[in-house]
Structure 1
Amino acid sequence: MNRARRTATAASVVLATAGGLITTVAVTPASAATCTSPTYTRQFFANTTFSGTAKRTDCDAGVDEYWSGSPATGVPTDNFSVRWTVTRDFGSGGPFSLTVRGQDGMRVYLDGYRKIDLWKGTSTTVSKTVNLTIPAGKHTLRVDYANWSGVAAVKFGYAPITSATYDKVKPLAPTGAAVAYDKYANKAQLTWAKNKEMDLAGYRVYRRQWGTSTWSRLTTTTGTAYTDSPPPTGAGYAYVIRAYDKAGNESASTAEVSVVSPDRTGPVAPTGLTAVPDNLRIAVRWNAVSDAAGYRLYEKDPATGALALLHEGTGTSFTHAVINSAHTYVVRAYDTAGNNGTLSAPVTTDGVDRTAPAVPQNFQAVNLSGRIHLSWQTQTPATDQEPNFTVVRSRGTTLGADAVPVACDYETNGSDGSYTHSCYAPDDWEFDTTYTYGVRAVDPAGNASAPATSTVTTRDNVAPRPLPGLKATPRADGMKLSWDTPLDEDITRYYGRVLAPQADGSVEVVSICEDSADDPRALLCIGVPDGETYVYQVYARDKWDNVTPLSTASQVTATELDLRAAEPIGEDSGPLYGQGGWTAVETPTGPSWQCSGDVCAQITEFKVSRWNFQTQTYEPLGTHPATPDPKWGYWWHYEDTTQPFGTVSYYRVVGVLADGTETAAAHPWRIRPDLL
């Protein structure tokens, strides 16, 4: 006996394919074979082999049937078959669950591949579920059902698996992103196309400002449109949309769409507003704002809050020419578009100068030629007057409570706010004593800075004592003087003198001695070593300019070496006569001589010889042309490149006439000293 069947015109409960939600959908018969996805195309066959022409083709929202009797005109009660087919876009694809249940034969295909096979007659309900991954894009599902006899029942559904444990597939990025911007209303209308994924949960809209890389999420929505009001700062903003599914997977971004907002936003409020009075004015200052084109400074009425514009400009300071009266200030910035910024926090001053000047800089107390010289620098702000200064002094290395005022008639030099001040302290100090001096800046309102300090030790008035162990060593370039370590530690310079004893018992200063190049305790008294006996005296000067009295200076008597040549120097009586001297340079020099009289014009050349101490003879060096020098006339110089170092050289020069005869000799000399 056949069971009762639900007719094809009755309402059916089906599993809809939109988003995997269970809905009640009525089957709508249709004669057309074209159905809009995700609606199925349904075909009825009068056999169980799907052969021949379908008896009926219509559209079905879902596969959920229970028939009693023939399911369609021309189809028998038993031994018929029904085929459902749908092709749809699965978006990014992912894991899906396919489930079929019913009686008699059921088969499910994906893209022509069989996934479920329950193809046999049954009198009881059977079911099967298959989990599989459907690739992205469009795919075709097909459900075949055959009824041989008895109850005709079949139900099929497919749905995404939304567990984050299994679903790792991101949705596809939304397409068709666009933006329409109303700059007057500052409204950016974003739109995009709906995604195809069945497990889609919604969309996320992101924004970033041009020039940055940080995206901020604006909203989460299930729709395909969003309206944003970007900050009206004149900046550009980019938008992207990303889809996300029920497993929490987020898609890639859409292509960026951008807008440029109108600039209706003023700069932020300036910070650091200060008002510092002095005895002439109030200096108002504030910190710069990055996008400010300028600033407006207002005076605020404390009672009414009314603002009176006091100054407008691009700087961050203003000098208000008022004193000893209360004032309240606020400041705001404005940008290049003319937008006013937020007012700063107010600052109030009573106008009374209570601010001490800056501490004087680089204060130094130094001994200068035995006096105490004080100097310091100041940088005077443009809104203040140059202060006065007071100087005090304490005995010792710190400025103590016992500090006493010191008169300082200082002089000031400088300009453009940078000044140097200096004076000599009174000479009322004690010799060889340590003092600490201090200087304070005092402004016209009487505010005094902290003191700058400097410590100095005064000079002593004790002359250096005689030098111990003075000795004289005769040399070929003069007399070397040397001595032992001095008894005083503050000596800065030594002096030596050569004294010639006179018949009356006095002495006459013949020459002075030269400092050593290498030995700080040696002098060289340069002179011709002709066997003379002299008194050599050495005295010292200390850093305070105290000098050893000559009456107590160390001295020693010594005789020079006798290195005179065969012909004496300084006794030339002919037309030629030689010059003598020495030079401190280490390079050789050579002799110089002159000629006077008519014979000078007849000389054709000069012969130059040098005395050899070892052989006791004059040895020829060479000749020198007799052409007069255009500048010096009858004056000649011979470059002796072999002149010995650290000795005296005696020369013999004769003029050769055209007939071969020679003039009387000249005897120039040169000392090339070794300065130790």
Structure 2
Amino acid sequence: MNTRIRTRVPATLAGLVTLATAGGLVTAAGAPAAAATVTCNSPVWKVQFFANTTFGGTPKKTACDTAISENYGSGHPAGVSLPNDNFSARWSLTRDFGSGGPFTFAAETQDGVRVYLDGVRKIDLWKNVSTTQKKSVNLTVPAGKHSLRVDFVAWTGAANVKFTYTPRTSATVDKVKPYGPSGASVAYDRTAHAASLRWAANKEMDLAGYRVYRRPSPGSGWTRISGSGLVTATTYTDKSAPATGANFAYEIRAVDKAGNESGGTADLYITTVDRTAPVGPSKPVYSYDGTTNTTTLSWTPNKETDLAGYRVYRRPSPGSGWTKVSGSGLITKTTFADASAPATGASYGYEVRAVDKAGNESGGSTDIIITTADKTGPAAPKGLAVGYDLWQATLGWQASENAVGYEVSAAPAETGPYSVVATTTAPGKVRVAAPVNTPRFYRVRAFDAAGNPSAYSEVYADDGVDRTGPLAAPTGLNAVVRPGSTDVHWSMAWPAYEDWDNGGSYRMYRSPGRTLDRTTMTRVTCGWDSDSADNRGNCNDVAKRQGTHYTYAVAAVDPFGNEGPLSAPLTVRVALPPVTGLKATPRTDGVFLEWDASTEPDLARYQVFKAESYDDGDGGTIWLAHRVDYLSPSDTSFLHGSEADGETVRYVVVPEDTEGNLLDFDDPALNWVEVTELGTPPVE
């Protein structure tokens, strides 16, 4: 028994009835082959199997096959009931060859094969052989649809068959142009400025691709726009057409592998969106009328056929911000007059731009520069303020830009009449004479270098009441401290001279302690030997306690009682504080005194006083004191040698500072100690 091998099975031999190509793949729906008519979509082959060598009777199987390339070995096709020998198969199809051209038909077989084109036999290898026989034929296939049929017979032994038909693509052989593409269309996207072309695929088997051409319409010069290569898809998008609002025509041409190019498709037309601006106008001719502040421009008309009009722009010169001055509409003439430039003496540039009917605006013409007449004054001064002091009003205000001078006017009523009371080149303090306690109204205006005045400032109403104290504070405070009084001296700067000369004065304040406390300070009533002048002063202060720190400050006062700023403070100490812890111990050799050491940094020495009692002649007693010694600042004890006579006496130790200040021995702040000496008082 022979072993039968099938090395390739047609696609439908497993019971498929219909089979078609989809995206290069074979798809089918199944049913018994003998039960229905089989339809195979071109260029898929329809194959029929017969159990004889004459192709007679009903086929044992009908199926679809994408290629003829079978090797049945010593058996028969799988999936179909056929004898091992003496069976046959017939492949057939009808397809569109497009424009046709030269082809090569090639067959290989064992045993017999015959190939037919439109029923005409082209290859005939029809005999029982023991080895594979081959044959190829070069021929020309006419344009259009044609049928192919391949008959195969397996008589005995091994069986195989193969057939191909391929275009001959050599440029020396193939001189047949492809058909021009069909079904071409174009759609234009005005937003994206893109022409999208589509067409149906060509039928030629040797098709290499397509080329896309464009020309102006009307016009005859075609330009290939699809690049140096070929388009292999059946779509193409063009964004390179000039966006000028012009008409263009497109056509697509097919190209085969031999380089033959078809004729073009029917022309496809678009009108592009207009995004191309006109040419900028020529440099305008201009004139400037300083009397009316009017600039007049004129220019040569543009030549564009779709011109809609012009716009005129202005900017400061130098400067970069252009402003349209010709209004919201377009200028249809070639002249324009502008009287809106500020008449400030500044320079301005002008340019003209053309606009087409699609709204595209050209670049500007060459700039022309004009300088306006200066007829504009500065801005009105702001921030006018008035202060009254010593029969004079002092005015100040903010500077106005470009102002070189100012004029001050005053009136007894807000509505006038106003008269000029001062002129100045700066907005600083301006003083004008004014009656005291009399309302007046003031206003200011500025002038520029050309003499143009500004508007008046807001009116300032002043009541003429002097609420302004001297502007300067006394300086250079110093003091002479004596037992029982302190003399404070100061100097006065120039701004207070007027106040003094017109009845001004000074006030001195004092607060206890080492710093000036405004909440506790009191005004000092100066003693009999105080003195003042316009540039200096002194005040004798007697209302104080020795041994205490005081801080002084002085202010100048104008004739109306307005007080100026306080001077820098001056701190003084009347005298050192009394010693503490004083004790007196009687001894046979005198009285021994002890006390606590003073911590004052400016202690110079101690003075020791002794007091003795006497009859005052009126039945009373008086104590008379005298100094008994000076001691160093490091001493804290002292032995006063005296006769031990049983007398009662008193002692006190008084610290003295480096300036010689010390408390009077009768100052109530001193701590006297009383002691009775040893011994027996003498008998009188």
Instruction: Name the TM tier (shorter chain).
Output: 0.3 to 0.5
TM-score (norm. length: structure 2): 0.44
